[in-house]
Amino acid sequence: MIIIIKEEDKPEREFAVEKFPVSIGRSKDNTITMPSPYFSRQHCIIEETRKGFRVKDLGSKNGVKVNGQSIQTSDLIPGDVISIGTNDFKLIDKKSKDSLTLKDDSPKKSVSYKGEAVPEIVWKNQLNKEKVTQCAHCGTYYSMSHTVPGVGIFCPTCKTQHE
Q: pLDDT tens digits for 19-74?
A: 999 999 999 999 999 988 899 999 999 999 888 899 999 999 999 999 999 999 99
Which residues share a beta bridge with 37?
Answer: none
Question: How far is CA 149 from each of CA 128, 133, 146, rounded to the nearest angstrom?
Answer: 21, 18, 10
Neighbour count for residue 34 (Cβ, 10 Å) = 20
Mean of all residue pLDDT scores within the chain: 76
Asked whether residue 99 carries a pLDDT value surpassing 80, the answer given is no
Q: Phi, psi at residue 76, to the nearest 5°?
A: -125, 150
Q: Which amino acid is residue 26, in one-letter code?
A: R
Closest residue by Cα to residue 80 from 31, 20, 121, 22: 121
| Residue 92, H or E segment | strand 87-92
Asked whether residue 112 carries a pLDDT value surpassing 50, the answer given is no
pTM: 0.59
Q: Which amino acid is residue 125, in one-letter code?
A: N
